[in-house]
Amino acid sequence: MKNITIIGGGLVGSLLAIFLAKRGHRVNVFERRPDPRRTNVYAGRSINLVVSHRGWTALKAAGVNEAVERIVVPVYARMTHAPDGTLTRLPYSIDERAIHSVSRAELNKVLLTEAEKLPNVKLHFEHRCTGVHLDTGTCMFHNEATGEASATPADVVFGSDGAGSAVRQELMRTRFTFSQTYIEHDYKEIAFPPNADGTPRMDPHCLHIWPRRWFMMMGLANQDGGFTGTLFMPHEGEFSFDRITDEKDLMRFFEEHFRDAIPMLPDLAEQYFRNPQSNLAIIRCAPWTYGGKVALIGDAAHAIVPFYGEGMNAGYEDCKVLNDLLNVHGDDNWSAVLDAYGKARKPNGDAIADLSMRNFVEMRDLVADPRFILRKKIEGRLQQRHPDKWLPLYSQVKFSDIGYLDAWNEGLRHDRIMEEVLAMPGIEEKWESEEVERKVLGLLEH
């Protein structure tokens, strides 16, 4: 049994605490912010997110899936909103499998409560980590409420302290590779309230997307009948946040691009000018571990853009893989466990970063493109008829445990095949034919 310090009690740190405590370790979680169950610390941060297969696999392995199932809304399809208001429903999978929308705050609260039920977990709120002795595992803290400084020794330290990780900052003093890339798009959240009678204004079981090539808006249901809308747009340039300086600009912009959303957003201008505009960055780093003492996990190791809705799911998969490796190597051989963990997860962290950027292009651009919709139909048919031979990339990422890197490589192979298929003369008419099917099967053999 080890003394384990977890820095950051957010979405990943709280689940990690449960995994490690259930193995018998003594776990101390230090979280910079106050307890979200007692204060509204989540105000102003992204309101909901999607849990998908990998997330569920980890939640199940930790024995907390049932507590989370109570707070989710299933989402079975994308619903695209064309500029003229035309709606197109695109199921995520042929068998209507769902991803699940959940409130970030509620999820965090549930996991903290589950962690706290375990006698060997101690949660320390308002404790900001200010430094880590990498060789001894001693962490230094600043108490945000009292201003006091303290230090806590540990056998193993996990940095699950998000994109701005203090633990990663400490690793930067060693032979550590790091990159942070901002994308040109920022985001702003705008809430769609429910109708006066509490009913939702759109189908809650769809992820609503307004793809507009250079920018896009999406809407994801909350349990209260409302939706969280997120507008993704460059921060400068022709279509950008910079160009919207007053209510007139805003309404003109919405009239032109998101007209059907206007009646659903009664306080659009107030929200738009009140809510923060946040940026998006991709963080890659290596190595994720230091000896058998320190490891990064979740966004601290691999912050990605949110377009696949996989950041947290990837972090949950990190926890599950770590737990599996403890099963293999035992709970006393942390050098072997952390070494294997870093080797297993780093390539997949890089792959999901690439996949997420790819899905951005797909969401803002391609879902409005008839060729893309045709490709989805062909892929759906292939999957239905040859489930052992064709699993679309989206399903690999969202509905399977296939490693992100393997999914990425398979996705590139699918692109090459589909390019040839979509170039077949008359493909629009014959996409359901034997000829097309034979062509794909032939190309798959190569």
Ligand X SMILES: Cc1cc2nc3c(=O)[nH]c(=O)nc-3n(C[C@H](O)[C@H](O)[C@H](O)COP(=O)(O)OP(=O)(O)OC[C@H]3O[C@@H](n4cnc5c(N)ncnc54)[C@H](O)[C@@H]3O)c2cc1C
Q: Which residues bind ligand X (CB under 6 A)?
A: 7-13, 30-33, 46, 49-50, 128-129, 160-162, 166, 187, 230, 298-300, 306, 309-313, 315
Smallest distance, ligand X to C-beta of residue 29, A = 9
Quick one: 217 or 300, whose CB is closer to ligand X?
300
Q: How far apart are CA 30 and CA 123, in angstroms?
A: 6
Which among 185, 266, 172 is positioned nearest to 230, based on CA atoms?
185
Quick one: 20 or 50, whose CB is closer to ligand X?
50
Residues 6+ apart with CB under 8 A from 423: none
* Residue 78 and residue 92 in contact, taking contact as beta carbons nearer than 8 Å: yes
Whose structure tokens read 């006066």?
196
Which among 113, 123, 78 is positioned nearest to 98, based on CA atoms?
78
Smallest distance, ligand X to C-beta of residue 414, A = 23
Residue 100, Cβ neighbours under 10 Å: how many? Answer: 18
Quick one: 160 or 222, whose CB is closer to ligand X?
160
* Residue 300 and residue 161 in contact, taking contact as beta carbons nearer than 8 Å: yes
The two structure tokens encoding residue 183: 């994308």
Smallest distance, ligand X to C-beta of residue 39, A = 12
Smallest distance, ligand X to C-beta of residue 129, A = 4
Quick one: 186 or 379, whose CB is closer to ligand X?
186
Give per-residue burial for 44-67: e unless 16+ CB within 10 Å, then b.
Answer: eeebbbbbbbbbbbbbebbebeee
Task: For residue 105, give the DSSP letter.
Answer: H
Smallest distance, ligand X to C-beta of residue 213, A = 20
Please provide the distance, in angstroms rounded to a whole number, between the alpha carbons at the two ends of the chain. 51
Q: How far apart are CA 310 and CA 312, in angstroms?
A: 6
Quick one: 9 or 219, whose CB is closer to ligand X?
9
* Residue 13 and residue 38 in contact, taking contact as beta carbons nearer than 8 Å: no
Smallest distance, ligand X to C-beta of residue 355, A = 12
Smallest distance, ligand X to C-beta of residue 259, A = 24
Quick one: 129 or 378, whose CB is closer to ligand X?
129
Quick one: 114 or 310, whose CB is closer to ligand X?
310
DSSP-derived 3-state class of residue 74: strand
Smallest distance, ligand X to C-beta of residue 208, A = 14
Smallest distance, ligand X to C-beta of residue 159, A = 9
Which among 170, 168, 152, 149 is positioned nearest to 160, based on CA atoms?
168
Q: How far apart are CA 158 and CA 18, in angstroms?
A: 13
* Residue 355 and residue 411 in contact, taking contact as beta carbons nearer than 8 Å: yes
Quick one: 296 or 325, whose CB is closer to ligand X?
296
Smallest distance, ligand X to C-beta of residue 281, A = 10
Quick one: 132 or 417, whose CB is closer to ligand X?
132
Quick one: 167 or 391, whose CB is closer to ligand X?
167
Which among 310, 376, 430 is positioned nearest to 80, based on CA atoms?
376
DSSP 203-253: -TTEEEEEE-SS-EEEEEE-TTS-EEEEEEEESSSSSSGGG--SHHHHHHH
